[in-house]
């Protein structure tokens, strides 16, 4: 197996591509993290889950919510906390 030589120019190109990717990700996610309260359909879209799964998350207490006049609201930061809390770190 031969050695691969990486030049300073290669690293600079990688840096610019990485920065562009990060900018695009930030642009695509803009609005989601700025919104404090999400409705059920927004949470289902964010997590990619069905209405039944969201209901189960409410019933078993996994996902906190607020109900006002029949409309359910979820705090964005609480959803992120649940995701972080349930993160599984695979050990190799």
Q: What is the pLDDT confidence band of residue 92, given thresholds at 50, 70 and 90?
A: low
Taking the CA atoms of residue 41, residue 83, residue 56 and residue 28 in that order, the dihedral angle to the nearest 10 degrees is 10
Reported pTM: 0.60
| Helix, strand, coil in percent for the chain, rounding step 5 | 55, 10, 35
| pLDDT (average), residues 3-20 | 90
User: Which tens digit of pLDDT belongs to each residue from 30-85?
Assistant: 655 568 999 999 999 999 999 999 999 999 999 999 999 999 999 999 999 999 99
φ, ψ at 71 (rounded to 5°) = -105, 130
Query: Tokens 């803009």 — which residue?
Result: 30
Pairwise CA distance, residues 86 & 71, whole Å: 26
């Amino acid at each position: 197996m031969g050695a691969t030589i990486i030049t300073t120019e290669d690293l600079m190109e990688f840096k610019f591509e990485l920065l562009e990717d990060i900018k695009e990700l930030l642009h695509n996610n803009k609005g989601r993290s700025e919104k404090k309260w999400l409705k059920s359909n927004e949470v289902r879209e964010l997590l990619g889950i069905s209405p039944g799964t969201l209901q189960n998350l409410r019933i078993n207490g996994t996902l906190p919510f607020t109900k006002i006049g029949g409309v359910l609201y979820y705090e964005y930061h609480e959803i992120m906390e649940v995701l972080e809390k349930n993160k599984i770190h695979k050990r190799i």
